[in-house]
Structure 1
């Protein structure tokens, strides 16, 4: 390991698949490891694709004193002061074009489309996939029929398309990446069944850099990040120590400096113990 672990002053963790597994809660082992890191003057933040409101209880669970990075970094808000440090939505015109694409006859019945506006979730209708999503996230979706009506006066923080068929999500990602450059949209998967689109300036790496460099005056060598999926790649690459979970796809593990045990084996606690507490 090239980074001296005593240089780490900031730890940033993802939620789903990283500090929270099937139970949808943080285990005592992971909480204790985070608390022990904080006792060594290491600040801890959360970076998630979740809505701000959905992520807030995890932020509170770990006693973070930093702003919460939500929506892949499109929304950064300090829960104590309520100050929104950053909000970068998807341009309305592009959001409308994405909706046109999702509503092609061959796709419409296969996808559940979510628009996130002002930290509320708007959907065309409540599908089975949306029900499962809302139960895990603790958010009540608002069905509006035609999603175009919520775009008349708003720009979405994030656009999400859900489908249980991972091949459809992979094809969606490939197709839209051929239509939009990285300068137009940031496209990713947070889990195999979630296609996500945000503002092109949004990713967790950029958000972690903002917290580290702009807010705390740190360098990337002072940062450790832990994540488990493709939306974590940029923050794993940015950090002095980037740790992928054992349950991460192999391509995500390949770019990390170390691979922890899986989330169900409290891999985040193992990583924190290895690099920050030993």
Structure 2
């Protein structure tokens, strides 16, 4: 019997408008009413993740930053897994040498040194997800999204990190050429050692400590509650979800998931635009 459901957010729990559909909210509430716990598992940081969840009045534990930061339903930190100071600097050196735009995540902040580039990448994401949207509208929506999404723009990320002495939990880098460029960069980053390198979109790579993965965090969260893998269900759509889809006894890839991810999961549900999370939960509850 399923005791815990873990769901990715972007491309899974959320639709392409970055909202939790009412059908998904109702399905989560129905599962909770039957004693099943729910946890969101995302590459987002706290400040970004809570926006979509709070809009839908979903207050649940969260695996954040791909497993580098885990919080309870009251948003209190359970644990963090930082990349490490020297390793962070080595990653930044590699990304800058390759000319990639990147953002730095700590438990409380998201740092960027290039606001126009940030707007441009969010606009490109919207263009790929929303059929018929114009470039002008995508840029306008990206700018609006930026006003709602806490992000700190600084002139020098290195000096900011030194001054604040914050632990870096995740680094995300973007390139419009996608895998053609990012595959080579990922290979260079692997040489640094003790890094987990995944992706939530074809145009990015997400860098964490090797022990900061959704599956590892989900396993620890489940075991603390006395649950076994066979009592855990996980849903996801992309490569940063693979570790938790592999861990969970019951796993669902979204209909919009990458083909390789669909091969890993033992079930496939509808797309995120078709309320695939609700469909999967209904199936489990009926069984």
Structure 1: segments with no counterpart, 5+ residues: 1-6
Q: 1:189 maps to which residue?
A: 199
Kept in 2, the 8 Å contact 1:45–1:64? The answer is no
Q: Summarize deviations over 1:125-145 as a string: whole Å, max 9, x none.
A: 213334654755742322222
Kept in 1, the 8 Å contact 2:20–2:52? The answer is yes
Structure 2: segments with no counterpart, 5+ residues: 123-141
Q: 1:267 to 1:127 in 2, by over 3 A?
A: same
Q: 2:18 maps to which residue?
A: 24
Q: 1:4 maps to which residue?
A: none
The correspondence for 2:209, drawn from 199, 220, 223, is: 199
Q: 2:96 maps to which residue?
A: 103
The correspondence for 1:63, drawn from 58, 66, 70, is: 58
Q: 1:100 to 1:205 in 2, by over 3 A?
A: same
Q: 2:248 maps to which residue?
A: 239
CA distance in 1 between counterparts of 2:31 and 2:51 reads: 19
CA displacement at 1:241 relative to structure 2: 0.2
Q: 1:58 to 1:116 in 2, by over 3 A?
A: same
Kept in 2, the 8 Å contact 1:34–1:62? The answer is no
The correspondence for 2:181, drawn from 168, 176, 193, is: 168
Kept in 2, the 8 Å contact 1:204–1:234? The answer is yes
Q: What are the equivalent positions in structure 2 for 1:1-278 lying under 5 Å apart?
A: 7-60=1-54, 61=56, 63-65=58-60, 67-80=61-74, 82-104=75-97, 107-108=98-99, 111-130=100-119, 133=122, 136=145, 138-152=148-162, 153-166=165-178, 167-177=180-190, 179-181=191-193, 184-214=194-224, 216-278=225-287
CA displacement at 1:124 relative to structure 2: 1.6
CA distance in 2 between counterparts of 1:123 and 1:63 reads: 28
SS at match of 1:103: helix
CA distance in 2 between counterparts of 1:275 and 1:136 reads: 35
Kept in 1, the 8 Å contact 2:71–2:79? The answer is yes
Q: Summarize deviations over 1:12-57 as a string: whole Å, max 9, x none.
A: 1110000112111011111111111112111111010001121124
Number of residue-to-residue matches in the alignment: 262
CA distance in 2 between counterparts of 1:230 and 1:149 reads: 32
Kept in 2, the 8 Å contact 1:245–1:262? The answer is yes
SS at match of 2:35: coil
Please tell me the root mean square deviation across aligned C-alpha atoms, in Å. 1.9
TM-score, normalised to structure 2, is: 0.85
CA distance in 1 between counterparts of 2:105 and 2:38 reads: 26
